[in-house]
Amino acid sequence: MTALVERRTSSVAGWSRRLAWFSAVLFAVAGAAHRFGLLETVPFLWTLAIVGTLASMALVFAGTSFPRIWNFGDGGARDAAIGVAVASVVLSPFLFSGYCVFAYPQLHDVSTDPSDPPLLTLAAQQRRPGMNAITGIDGETAALQLEHYPEIVGRRYDLPLERAEDIVNSLVEAHGWTAAAASSRSEGDDPDIGVITREFIARSPILAFPADVAIRLIEEDGSTYVDMRSSSRYGRHDFGENARRIAGFLAEMDTQVALQAGVAAPDAPEQ
């Protein structure tokens, strides 16, 4: 009578599946908690480090189990495959961030006017140890921005200050940015020039990393010039987020100004 040989199951493959699922759940829970303000950014960053470590271990365990599964017929192929699939999904944002490190310049403070950026007065007061300090934009950083983001420049609109401010307010509300301070209004030596600077807190689309945004409106001879500044609170590299935020906002403002100009235009005379 032939003896039945019990098939061994790879415990390493099982651990690959467990670690992968745990890293995915931890990522989802921590990401949701951070997005809704239940978890501060620094603990969230440490949690992301743990998530990346666990997902990487899941891949290592899966890779370790595959030779025994293939050569000796051990069970656990399904566990190892699940571990690889789930860990790969979890690690995809980390891989994308790694790509962005090389694809975008190392900047965390971007402005349409690097030589005289809009002031982030309240943000500078609220920055704590561990956050990026609010400083001026030096010449080297300005040159790096100009090289990679030549399109990040201010806009002049043929609108009075009040109408331009209304458009800014509507776009800020649509983006869900939080007002960090009331409008600061100042007058220059020329009585025909007025300046409004407003500060907001914006967050990245998915993981809600915070950034401080300043929008400066300068009225002169009936037109309004708009400058913007976006500064990340954490990290020396913004992965291009600040430039995208400014470019997108100003593009939307261009559209709104054009639509208002079209609505305000008088009807063409009948032939």
Same domain, 59 and 141: no
DSSP strand pairing (155-157 vs 184-187): unpaired
Taking 70 as the threshold, does the pLDDT of residue 189 lie above it?
no
Point out the least confidently predicted range of 21-25, 28-32, 189-193, 267-271.
267-271
Taking 50 as the threshold, does the pLDDT of residue 176 lie above it?
yes
| Residue 270: per-residue pLDDT | 44
The answer to the question of residue 126 being in a domain is yes
Number of domains in the chain: 2
> Domain range holding 76?
11-103
Same domain, 32 and 135: no
DSSP string, 48-114: HHHHHHHHHHHHHHHHHHHHHHHHH--B-HHHHHHHHHHHHHHHHHHHHHHHHHHHS-S-SEEES-T
The answer to the question of residue 271 being in a domain is no
Digit-coded pLDDT (tens) for 246-261: 999 999 999 999 988 7
CA separation for the pair 87, 39 (Å, rounded): 23
Same domain, 139 and 214: yes
The answer to the question of residue 270 being in a domain is no
CA separation for the pair 258, 126 (Å, rounded): 37
Same domain, 216 and 114: yes
Across the chain, which distance is largest between two alpha carbons, in Å?
107
Helix (H) or strand (E) holding 201: strand 193-203
Name the band, by pLDDT with cuts 50, 70 and 90, for residue 269. Answer: very low
Same domain, 113 and 99: no
The answer to the question of residue 172 being in a domain is yes
> The domain that contains 201 carries what CATH number?
3.30.310.80
Query: Is the Cβ–Cβ distance between 249 and 228 less than 8 Å?
Result: yes
Same domain, 182 and 75: no
Same domain, 46 and 132: no
Same domain, 90 and 165: no
Question: What is this structure's pTM?
Answer: 0.83
The answer to the question of residue 1 being in a domain is no
| Residue that is last in its domain, among 54, 73, 103 | 103
DSSP strand pairing (155-157 vs 178-179): unpaired
Token representation of residue 13: 């493959």
| Residue 10: per-residue pLDDT | 63
The answer to the question of residue 127 being in a domain is yes
| Residue that is last in its domain, among 50, 68, 103 | 103
Same domain, 204 and 251: yes
Same domain, 126 and 81: no
Mean pLDDT to the nearest integer, 40-65: 94
| Residue 168: per-residue pLDDT | 96
The answer to the question of residue 3 being in a domain is no
Same domain, 149 and 209: yes
- What phi and psi, each to the nearest 5 degrees, are found at residue 70? -75, -45
The answer to the question of residue 6 being in a domain is no
Give the long-range contacts of residues 166-169, CB within 8 A, separation 24 or more.
167/253, 167/256, 167/257, 167/260, 168/198, 168/215, 168/217, 168/226, 168/253
The conformation of residue 189, written as its DSSP 8-state character, comes to S
Same domain, 33 and 156: no
Token representation of residue 193: 């020039």
| Residue that is last in its domain, among 103, 123, 141 | 103
Enumerate the β-bridge partners of residue 193.
220
